[in-house]
Structures are given as C-alpha cells and as structure tokens.
Amino acid sequence: MKLISVVSTRPDYIKETLRHHYLKEMGIEEILVNTGQHYDHNMSQIFFDELKIPIPDYSLNVSTGLVGRQTGEIITQMEEILLKEHPDLTLVYGDVTSSLAAALASVKLRIPVVHIEGGIRTDSRFNPEDINRKICDHLSDTIFVPTELSLQNLLKENFPSDRIFFYGDVTKDILLYTLNRHDIKIERKDYILITLHREENVDNSQRLTNIIRALNESGEKIVFPVHPRTRKQLERFGLQDKIGDNIQLLEPQGYINFIRLLAGARKVLTDSGTVRREAYIMYKPVITLIEIIWWPEIVKCGWNLIVGADKNKIVDAIRQFSPPAEHPEFFGDGNAERKILNKILSLYG
Ligand code: UD1
Ligand code: UDP
C-alpha cells in the first residue's frame, strides 16, 4: 500500500513525528509532500531537524500571499505528483489551505482522500480554517475525528457513519510522547505563555492593539513566542515599540522548547487551535483570545475561558481565571495515530 501524506505548516510537521515511524513499521509506503506554506527556518526546518522527520519527497515551495493563487499552485503541482505516483490514497490534516487544495486535486483524479482531524464545527461563516475543514470533510472518503463531539457534528450533517471514526486526537499522542521522551515535568512557574496568529486578531489593528494593551496592563511576566505573521503586523501597526517590559518576545520556538515553556506556564493565552488543547491536556488554565470555539468541551467544563480581544476581559482573566478541579478526558488515550493507521490499512490495504 502506498499513500501520499501532505504537510504544509508548523502543526502538520509536528504530527509527522510519529506517523512516519508507524507507517514504516506497518510496511506502508509514504510519499511525503511538503507544500511549504510555512517556510521560515523556525516555522519549518527546525521541526524536520529536531523531530527527525524525513526529507520530503516533494517540496512544492508555494508562494505566500493571496489564497487563490496559493490554492491554485498547490492543485497544479499536486495533480502532477498524483499522476506520477498513483497512490492508494491521499492523507490530509486539519484545516489549512494546503489540505483543501491537495484534497481537491486528489478527489478529481478519483484518488480517495482521508482526512485526519475532521468534524470540528463552529457557526463562523468566514473563518478560513472552518471553510477549509468543511470542504475537506465533504471531499473525503474517510474522516477521522478527534473528539466525540466532532463525531456527533458529522452525524448531524448526515455523513455516513461507516466513513467516520473516532479514535482520539493525534496531537495528544505526540504531546505525551514528547513529555515522556524529554522528561518534561508539568510545573507551575511564575510566567504566562501567549501565542497569537489568527488572521482575525493579527490583521485587525484594533484587536491586536487591545491584546497588547491588556498584556502590558496586567503587569504579569509574559512569555510570547511570536509567529512571523504577528511579528509583521506588530511592525505594520506600530506596536513593536509599545510592548511593555513585562513581556518577553521570542522567536517562534522549536516544538520541544515550546512544550517546555507550556509545561511551566501558570496560565496560557492563545488563539491557536492546537495550543488550546495541549494546554488543557497539561492542566493549564486556557484563556482564548478569539470568539471562535473549536473545542466547546473544554469551555463547558470550565478550563477554557473565551475573552476574545476585549482588553478588560483579558486583564481580568489573567488575574482571576481559575478552573474547577474536575478535568474530564476528551482527546482519547494517546494512541490515536496507531489506531487511525491500522484502520487505513484495513480499508485501503
Ligand atoms: C496557517 C493556517 C492556520 C494555522 C497556522 C499554523 C490557513 C488558512 N492558515 O496560518 O490554519 O493555524 O498556519 O501556524 O491555512 N509567514 C511568514 N513565514 C512563514 C509562514 C508565514 O512570514 O514561515 C507570514 C507571511 O507573511 C504569510 C503569513 O504569515 O503571508 C500568513 O501565512 P499563512 O500560512 O497564510 O497563514 P498562517 O497565519 O501561518
Ligand atoms: N508551537 C511550536 N512553537 C511555537 C508555537 C507553537 O512548536 O513557538 C507548536 C505547538 O505546540 C502546537 C503547534 O505548534 O503543536 C501549533 O501551531 P499553531 O498554533 O501555529 O497552529 P494551529 O494549531 O492554530 O493551527
């Protein structure tokens, strides 16, 4: 059996860490395609180096910028690769533009698409990730969902139950593996960790200004590894010079260092989809800086407070947010990846 696995951005690269080992063990041939949606060293190569991910068989080096051109370039290049490689299936992840483009190229050539991390839904009509994920689900032959709720979402939309599977979240697998492998202890140090990169926040000068003001006003020690998109916008909106002395700006971190930072944080502020659940799994109070709720489970159980970009709410949350003792399990048992690949082998092998 032969599959094409399409990776494109920081969270995808990280997820390749365990997958390529398991595929090898199972005798499944993997053709790794990196579209290159992320390209700075600290957003791409650093993960290949430190997580020992194989050199991609194809690097598409797509240009950044307008989404239509980027999508078109990926479709065009993927078509050539698919016609040359004739895989049994194409594997895509999550909600990035590259996954949508690769899924479209594949299904048009009648090559089945398997979507990992499908089924998550919000009521947002214009969020780019939501659009990508919904279309990927509809193009896919098989969908693996990370939570019970995402399974229910797909059933409500009448997806056939024999094409959707809930084995847990692969993010948890790699997180538990990394904590164990690098002997990282979950502690409660004196700093707050923030990540920020959603277009709704960083491309909007008012929202970005509110968030920076809130961080300054909190007076707390804040550690902030800055996504390149955010770095550019801080400069563009003249906010670089308004960062308070309590905030330590860092380059985007490699995964192992980032997990160390997360493991030591007192609280976590983020608009990331993945950091929210990594923080939850590590028992960190999570304060979300965007109104889009991808994981209602962790909001309902009281561990994730949604504050958006409201300055006063952010300051109050930094000072006062305190989750309850109860911490239910939503993201599986840490063996999602193996279960998913076994299922793929039984369906397409
Ligand atoms: C993308 C994904 C998002 C995911 C995130 C992970 C889409 C629509 N967005 O968002 O779902 O959460 O990756 O981090 O697929 N840039 C650089 N260097 C890089 C990468 C990006 O400078 O290595 C800058 C460029 O100015 C680029 C901008 O960031 O135009 C946006 O990059 P893009 O990949 O479109 O979106 P992200 O915000 O990174
Ligand atoms: N991450 C990292 N270095 C950083 C910030 C995040 O390695 O400086 C990791 C983080 O642990 C998570 C992934 O990158 O696994 C999330 O990426 P991001 O927040 O950019 O994307 P999203 O999950 O929102 O799609």
Write down the domain spans for the chain: 2-169+332-348, 181-320
Quote the ligand 2 centre to 303 CA distance (angstroms): 19
- Evaluate: CB of 228 within 6 angstroms of ligand 1: yes
Are residues 179 and 172 in contact, defined by beta-carbon separation less than 8 angstroms?
no
Q: What is the CATH number of domain 181-320?
A: 3.40.50.2000
Asked whether 111 and 84 are in contact (CB, 8 A), the reply is no
Closest listed ligand to the CA of 101: 1
Annotated catalytic residue: which of 20, 21, 41, 197?
197
- Cβ–ligand 2 distance for 274 under 6 Å, the answer yes
The answer to whether the CB of 197 falls within 8 A of the CB of 274 is no
Residue showing tokens 């020992």: 52
Q: Among residues 89, 92, 143, 101, which one has the least CA distance to residue 121?
A: 143
Q: Atom of ligand 1 at shortest distance to CA of 274? A: 12
197 ligand 2 Cβ < 6 A: yes
> What would the two tokens of residue 170 be?
């692969």
Torsional class of 94: left (φ above 0), alpha (ψ -120 to 50), beta (otherwise): left
- Residue 197 annotated among the catalytic residues of the structure: yes
Instruction: Quickly tell me which residue has 């689900």 as its tokens.
Output: 137
Q: How far is the CA of 37 from the centre of ligand 1 (A)?
A: 7
The C-alpha angle 174, 178, 180, rounded to 5 degrees, equals: 120
Total length of the chain:
349
- Does the C-beta of 15 come closer than 6 Å to ligand 1? no
Cα of 60 from ligand 2 centre, angstroms: 22
Residue 132 CA, ligand 1 centroid: distance in Å: 14
Of the bound ligands, which one is closest to the alpha carbon of residue 136? 1
Burial class of residue 59 in the structure, from the number of CB atoms within 10 Å of its CB (0-12 exposed, 13-18 middle, 19+ buried): middle
Class at the top of the CATH hierarchy for domain 2-169+332-348: alpha beta
The pair of structure tokens assigned to 137 is: 């689900």
Which among 15, 40, 272 is the best mutation to test ligand 2's pocket, defined by most ligand atoms within 8 Å of the CB? 272
Residue-level pLDDT, tens digit, the chain, 349 residues = 999 999 999 999 999 999 999 999 999 999 999 999 999 999 999 999 999 999 999 999 998 889 999 999 999 999 999 999 999 999 999 999 999 999 999 999 999 999 999 999 998 999 999 999 999 999 999 999 999 999 999 999 999 999 999 999 999 999 999 999 999 999 999 999 999 999 999 999 999 999 999 999 999 999 999 999 999 999 999 999 999 999 999 999 999 999 999 999 999 999 999 999 999 999 999 999 999 999 999 999 999 999 999 999 999 999 999 999 999 999 999 999 999 999 999 999 9
Nearest protein Cα to ligand 2, atom 6:
258
The per-residue pLDDT for 111 is: 98
Number of C-alpha atoms within 13 angstroms, CB side, residue 173? Answer: 18
Q: What is the pLDDT of residue 346?
A: 98
Which atom of ligand 1 approaches the CA of 199 most closely? Answer: 38
Residue entry with tokens 């969020």: 127
Q: How confident is the model at residue 301, as a pLDDT?
A: 98
Task: Establish whether domains 2-169+332-348 and 181-320 are of one fold.
Answer: yes
Output the DSSP codes for 283-319: T--EEESSS--S-HHHHHTTSEEE-TT-HHHHHHHHH
Query: Does the C-beta of 274 come closer than 6 Å to ligand 1?
Result: no
Burial of 109 (0-12, 13-18, 19+ CB in 10 A): middle
**3-state secondary structure (DSSP) of residue 154:** helix
- Taking each continuous run of H as one helix and of E as one strand, the counts in the chain are 15, 13
Question: Which amino acid belongs to residue 341?
Answer: L
**Ligand 1 mean position to 69 CA, how many Å?**
15
Atom of ligand 2 nearest to the CA of 195: 5
Expressed in angstroms and rounded, the spacing between residue 92 Cα and the centre of ligand 1 is 17
pTM for this prediction: 0.97
Dihedral sign for Cα 60, 94, 194, 50, please.
negative
What does the pLDDT read at residue 95?
Answer: 97
Q: How far apart are the first and last CA of the chain?
A: 5
Say how far apart CA 214 and CA 246 lie, in whole Å: 12
Report which ligand 1 atom has the smallest distance to the Cα of 272: 12
The residue whose two tokens read 């801080």 is: 234
Task: Please tell me the predicted confidence (pLDDT) of residue 65.
Answer: 85
